[in-house]
Amino acid sequence: MHWTEYLPSLMQGAWVTVQLTLYSTLLGAAAAFVFGIGKLSRNWALRGVSIAYIEVFRGTSLLVQLFWLYFALPLAGNAIGIDLRLPPVLAGVLALGLNIGAYGAEVVRGAIQAVHSDQHEAARALNFTERQTLFRITIPQAIPEMMPSFGNLAVQNLKDTALVSLISLGDLTFRAEQIRNFTQESTTIYTMLLFMYFGMALVVTAIMRLLERFAGRWRVAGS
């Protein structure tokens, strides 16, 4: 078979990979801000939950997290009489998003803490509340500092999507493995797979650099 005959199936898998990357990156970004800010909260309960989430998801394997959500969670649900079965796409998005969000939370925390104390003193002089200071002063200045690390995490998240093939989700890696098993053309298939992931990584990198540039202009405009 000619390599072009593999493209339709691989493109179908690539579309699944793109969706997984998009949804899990958005979930991860949301989790990063919620738990990154939560880790700095004066509320001990919120801080404790945030720290627990970050440490658990950073301290355990993404593969184990994926297997737990897809295989173990339904069994735990059955034990208490609740149906907790997750569709493969949802399990994949949750595992990827929550995992990358834990790393992103540390990025958010570090960027917020890096904002100069003079900014907080100026906010107090203007009688800003803590909430106003956080959302009007601290976060707008911290976001540009987060963007390079967020770009790296987004690319890493794209590459991590290959793990969902292990729960029989028809992503790019799963489709490639199906074709390889059928044709036994390992060199051709894996070379195509390598270049397709590389191409998608370049697109993700370009998008994140555009966002980084936009955030940089935001910082200049607000300075």
Give pLDDT, residue 119.
76
Q: What is the pLDDT of residues 187-200, one digit of tens each?
A: 999 999 999 999 99
Six-digit token pair at 83? 């149906």
Q: What is the pLDDT of residues 29-51, one digit of tens each?
A: 999 999 999 999 889 999 999 99
In 3D space, the residue among 134, 140, 132, 154 whose CA is nearest the CA of residue 207 turns out to be: 154
Strand positions, DSSP E, the chain: none
Task: Considering the domain delimited by 3-222, tell me its CATH architecture.
Answer: Orthogonal Bundle (1.10)
Six-digit token pair at 98? 């929550």
Strand positions, DSSP E, 52-185: none
Angle at 194 between CA 152 and CA 181, to 5 degrees: 130
Is 221's pLDDT higher than 70? no
Alpha carbon dihedral 108, 114, 115, 120, in 10-degree steps, equals 100
Give the residue extent of every domain in the chain. Answer: 3-222
The confidence band for 222, taking pLDDT boundaries of 50, 70 and 90, is: very low
In 3D space, the residue among 55, 166, 42, 52 whose CA is nearest the CA of residue 103 turns out to be: 55
The pTM is what? 0.90
Distance in angstroms (rounded) separating the CA atoms of residues 103 and 107: 7
The confidence band for 20, taking pLDDT boundaries of 50, 70 and 90, is: very high
In this structure, the number of other CB atoms found within 10 A of the CB of residue 75 comes to 11
Distance in angstroms (rounded) separating the CA atoms of residues 209 and 93: 23
Is 223's pLDDT higher than 80? no
